[in-house]
Amino acid sequence: MVLARGIPPRELANRLAETVSYDAEHIVVEVGDHTGESLLELMDDACGDSSDGIGLRLGSTGDWAYAVAYGGWPGEFGMPAPVSRGGAHVCLLEYEEENGKPVPPQFAYFHDGRLLSACNLHLDASWGCQGVEGEHATAASSQELPTAAGLPDPEGDRREVHRTASGVVEGYFGLSLPQDPIVSGTLPAVLLEPA
């Protein structure tokens, strides 16, 4: 999921299309309102397999726009720093719940084209480095909050650690995402297709 403050959902989709790391330029194609399941079905029909395409469900809450990504997206996008150009604040939350390995949520925060902080939200050394990377001042303050919440907690229940980590991010950035539309409701959807 990519969240952006300072740009509307459609502009977020356009900027994400610019970061697709294939050789071909990509464009945003509107495909109507979809649930996550119906978008994956559409992608199966359009691409042969949903993992061969990129779909986004778009929405907004407060002053944050968000894009929930589907398909083969984790390896498709380049660094989202350019998405934050022009003063936009961009947060990237990556969950790999389908992965058989215990992959912690990955978080990165960008502003005005710069990476300010990035970490796995469990703050353990299981995936990547332990702690928060990025610009010193922001990375240091970003690490204080999960540490104060008791992370890392290698003995903790995985789902509880996940909830704690998500709560820290939500509190720090003032996020309150609408769970029902994202999890089970319909949202405007787009496909990112080669031009």
pLDDT tens profile 50-98: 888 899 999 999 889 999 999 876 556 666 778 999 999 999 888 765 5
SS3 109: strand
Residue 99 has pLDDT above 70, yes or no: no
- Taking the C-alpha atoms of 115, 116, 122 and 127 in order, what is their torsion angle to the nearest 10 degrees? 30
* pLDDT tens for each residue of 125-178: 665 556 677 787 777 777 788 888 888 887 888 778 878 888 887 888 777 778
- CA nearest to 66, candidates 141, 148, 2: 2
What residues have CB less than 8 Å from 9, skipping those under 6 apart? Answer: 58, 59, 60, 65, 66, 67, 188
Which residue's structure tokens are 């022009």? 86
Rounded-to-integer distance, Cα 170 and Cα 165, Å? 9
| Short-list 47, 42, 15, CA closest to 28 | 15
d(CA 120, CA 124): 7
d(CA 145, CA 22): 37
Structure tokens belonging to residue 173: 């950035």
